[in-house]
Structure 1
Amino acid sequence: MSRSGPRTAVRTARTARTVGLLAGDVGHPLLAACSEILQAGGHRVVAAGEPADVLLLKARTPQALEHARQVEAAGTPVLNSAASTAFCQDRVAMAQLAVEAGLPFAATSGPVRLADLAVERPSVVKSRYSRRGDLVARVGGADDVRRLAETWGEEPVVVQDLAPAGGWDHKIWVVAGRLFAQLRHSELAAGPPRPPRPLAVEALPVGYRDLALTVGEVFGLDVYGVDVLDVGGRPLIVDVNAFPGIRGQAGAPEALAALALAAAEGRHTPRVVAVGAAV
């Protein structure tokens, strides 16, 4: 339960609903606040595995995805869908689909085993499969690759050019079409880390709002995050995340609770990526 004070309850005029949570940490601030709102409105929040009218899928393990697929097959809506969640774990598939859709996505090469990687200019190396504790690192040459290979030598990775973006990322989160934003100091930037900066959605550069909404359509996501760099005044997407944490964003728990109820009541059908799930 959130201790940040009372929140607005989300009520339904017809019947109470049951919302299931499938997450590595059901006490995550976003989920805890969302649960508080739902419960205050007379709804139930249960752990995955119990009967529910809708399942919120924040976990991304193979076991969680398989459970979500079974839930969907039984007729229960899942947010985000299992197919879309799995697809966004594969950074190779992500880059290919983004390019096919005409999105300004960072040029991505690979996959290649990290120990076999040769880089000729400053680059960003990422695990092919996005997961908790995956590899995301800046490399400047062979010495950096050898250092990483001591721990990650067998890791399948992709490579993106290091974009000149001034060290700050535009973090844009979307919940059922509602946007939230923040400027975050890049983990790849030189120098000590800096705290994130608040960013009003209205202050996003021109075109970023429409770009973020298009990402949801392309990748079949209802709850997601988009990492965008400003490169010479033009946006460059470097990552898409299914069901991110969205910490400290006023209104995000309420938006998530409202989306969960809309899906539970049949007023919203979860999106599904238009291509097969990642391998």
Structure 2
Amino acid sequence: MRIPRSNRLKRGLWSAGVMEPRLVILSRGPELYSTKRMFEEAEAAGWSVQILDPLKLTTVVDDNGVKVFNKGWPVDCDAVIPRIGNSITGKGVPIVKAFERMGVIVLNEGGGISSSRDKLMACQMMNERGIPVPITANVGTWQDTRRAISRVGGTPCVVKVTEGTHGSGVFLAHTEQQARQLVYQMLERDMRPLVQEYIKESHGQDVRAFVVGGKVVAAMRRKARGGEFRSNFHLGAKVEKLEIPDKHSEIACKAAETMGLDIAGVDLLESSRGALVLEVNSSPGLEGIEAASGVNVASKIIQHLNRVWEKKVGQGDSSEAPSDQEVNGEGTSDAY
């Protein structure tokens, strides 16, 4: 289903005589659905948009601060939306932080991306804030697996790596022997295994709440197909629209805030003791949520960016007002 664009974003975004604000989307896949949708909506809203591969950018740190270069030219922009995949977190986050040092708007910032990618750190941070999560144990040696299983309520239990996405590295262990075997294999590969409580009531399904700017803008229920217990859209799960309960929404927003994320896909498990946060995704996909909910989520993201931009401009940031020479095309414009 093609989701119509909104024209409301064009009106009153910037004052007369000021150049179009410049947005950089950091993405290794310009052809990907989520990247294309945000590009379309940002352009429709009046942004000058460029998609750049974060791994092909160069950063220079000198006495004048930090500068980012693309193919030898400085990247000058007003805002950045990072789409940093899990596999490039280590290399992508420093690029994001460089843009932060340059003083531009960044949705999401590097610290939030890093925290959300480490499942153990994220679990600890949410627990400190009183956000309900499944009981989780970090196992340092395979001999401790039995104690960990006992702490999370016995088998079946979930065994997963601390860093992974789209359901990779997540297994359902039906016996203690199977769990010990999985933990041993992960440790042998220098991975950090987690043993986590299995929520029987949510077998094969979860709730994805899409949070933008501290509000849930769309939600869906994901249901795995066949005998699969993971409900990730990329694993072929069915998605359906969901009117998310207020309590679920409150938990999702608090989880995104705790991770320091403006844009987040918060995955919730519905248990007998209420909603539990399974994971907070800092680069959530748009295809499934837009199809299921009928909400133009890409537009919601750009609307939030506009509000942040308007606030920054309203505070009189002189860097946002180009000189007469720049407006007339006489100034330096190396990046574009």
TM-score tier, shorter chain, comes to: 0.7 to 0.9
Q: Residue type matched to 1:126 in 2? A: K
1:198-237 paired onto structure 2 within 5 Å: 198-200=240-242, 203-232=243-272, 234-237=274-277
Q: Per the alignment, in what secondary structure is the counterpart of residue 104 of structure 2?
A: coil
TM-score, with structure 1 as normaliser: 0.82
Q: Deviations over 1:122-175 (max 9, x none)?
A: 111121123567411111221355368557742211111111224221111112
Q: How many residues are aligned here?
A: 262
Structure scoring higher RCO (CA < 8 A, sep ≥ 6) equals: 1
Unaligned 5+ segments in structure 1 are: 269-279
Identical residues among aligned pairs (%)? 20
Q: CA deviation at 1:206?
A: 4.5
Structure 1 residue 180 and structure 2 residue 195: aligned? Answer: no
1:223–1:110 CA distance, 2 compared to 1 (3 A): same
| Contact 2:160-2:171 at 8 Å conserved across structures | yes
Q: CA deviation at 1:85?
A: 0.8
The structure with the largest helix share of the pair is 2
1:199–1:41 CA distance, 2 compared to 1 (3 A): closer
Q: CA deviation at 1:97?
A: 1.1
Q: CA deviation at 1:110?
A: 0.3
1:43–1:114 CA distance, 2 compared to 1 (3 A): farther
Find the aligned partners of 2:287 and 2:142 in 1 and give their Cα distance. Answer: 32
1:27-66 paired onto structure 2 within 5 Å: 27-48=31-52, 49=70, 50-60=75-85, 61-66=89-94
1:221–1:181 CA distance, 2 compared to 1 (3 A): same
Q: Which residue of 1 aligns with 2:299?
A: 254
Q: CA deviation at 1:55?
A: 0.7
Q: Which residue of 2 aligns with 1:97?
A: 125
Q: Which residue of 2 aligns with 1:196?
A: 238
Range moving further from structure 2, 30-39 or 256-265: 256-265
Higher Rg of the two aligned structures:
2
1:100–1:39 CA distance, 2 compared to 1 (3 A): same
| Contact 2:217-2:300 at 8 Å conserved across structures | no
Q: Per the alignment, in what secondary structure is the counterpart of residue 96 of structure 2?
A: helix
1:28–1:266 CA distance, 2 compared to 1 (3 A): farther
| Contact 1:112-1:158 at 8 Å conserved across structures | no
Find the aligned partners of 1:128 and 1:113 in 2 and give their Cα distance. Answer: 15
Find the aligned partners of 2:121 and 2:156 in 1 and give their Cα distance. Answer: 23
Once superposed, what is the RMSD of the aligned Cα atoms? Answer: 2.9
1:152–1:25 CA distance, 2 compared to 1 (3 A): farther
Find the aligned partners of 2:201 and 2:144 in 1 and give their Cα distance. Answer: 28
